[in-house]
Copies of this chain bind each other. A is one copy, B any other.
Amino acid sequence: MTARYDVVGIGNAIVDVLAHADDDFLVRHDMTKGTMALIDAEAADRLYADMASGIECSGGSAANTIAGLASMGGRGAFIGKVRDDELGKVFHHDIEATGVHFPTSPATEGAPTARCLIHVTADAERTMNTFLGACVELGPKDVDADVIRAAKVTYLEGYLWDREDAKAAFVTAAKLAHEAGREVSLSLSDPFCVDRHRDSFLELVEGHVDILFANEDEIMSLYQVDTFDAALQHVRGHCKVAALTRSSKGSVVVSGEEIHIVDAEPDVTVVDTTGAGDAYAAGFLFGYTDGGQNDLAHCGRLGGIAAAEIISHFGARPETPLNEVVAAKIG
């Protein structure tokens, strides 16, 4: 069957609230810099009350990746749950405005649309506290089988593993994709998320994942090793392709015997790292599904270019269309 979509993403549908904070603020609120913590509605209200004036923009890890893929020129679809409220409408508008197909119906009762309170410190690091809100309603019934079967790659965010229903949706989708002869990709999302679900992630990577995305901390946490190189040796052969991001050191792409060391884009002024990993996956998967399966170095380069755009400004979605950024860099 011809693929109608390059990538379909399944993930939490979240609106980000970004504000500057100093290190003392993180300490006062018991946050670990650079990570994501889940909070309930009450804690979210409390934290928001203490937070600086911010900006709001659509976020969510897999949603950012699919919006980025569309901005590269790819054909994307997204499955995720918002509520039928004002922020839900913002999320819906933003992802459809990038040309992404978003078939999931909004929840008509229960918790409001999810938000992620993101504190950006002077070192451009982002520290996140997520109130999942309506995302908890996402389950297997939301997995649109036609969409999954019509996409070259089904992309899943590790964050979904925190909830049983979302995990079931994830497994349903992976099964459908493989049955249709498609590929499955997973992003490990966060080292703490890996910590919480190490055994099932290991099993998943071994049995169900074709393309794995992880950063240095996440891949080291997955294999419980102390060096990036040790993690690299583990992941080789564990899944078809692994794309491992290393911040300013660029990325390493490994597939069996094949390995590529891709340097980071030079001359980037880092303003806010929110969404860097999501953007890398967007660029990589665009290259991969655009005929680049046999040129993994090129896929890694596209990932690096997309990430460089995202970290050069506040927020996790592109300010400049990524196809224009790529055209300016490599023609």
Chain A contact residues, CB within 8 Å of chain B:
17, 19-20, 48-49, 51-58, 67, 85-87, 90, 93-95, 97-98, 112, 313-315, 317, 319
Contacts and interface: CB of A to CB of B under 8 A. Distances in A.
A122 to B, nearest CB: 10
Contact of A97 (B52, B90, B112, B314): B52
A162 B91 CA distance: 32
A87 to B, nearest CB: 5
Given A48-B93, A93-B48, A53 B317 contact: yes
Contacts of A48: 93
B86 A49 contact: no
29 contacts: A17-B90, A19-B97, A20-B319, A48-B93, A49-B93, A51-B97, A52-B97, A53-B58, A53-B94, A53-B95, A53-B97, A53-B98, A53-B317, A54-B57, A54-B93, A54-B94, A54-B97, A55-B55, A55-B56, A55-B57, A55-B315, A56-B56, A56-B57, A56-B90, A85-B86, A86-B87, A86-B112, A313-B314, A314-B314
Work out how many copies of this chain go into the complex: 2
Tell me the interface secondary structure of chain A in the complex: mixed
A314 B313 CA distance: 10
A19 B321 CA distance: 12
Nearest to A45: B89
Nearest to A57: B55
B53 A93 contact: yes
A58 B53 CA distance: 9
For the complex of A and B, list the 10 residue pairs with the smallest distance between their C-beta atoms, beginning with the closest. Answer: A56-B56, A53-B94, A55-B57, A86-B86, A53-B97, A53-B98, A52-B97, A55-B55, A86-B87, A85-B86
A302 to B, nearest CB: 20
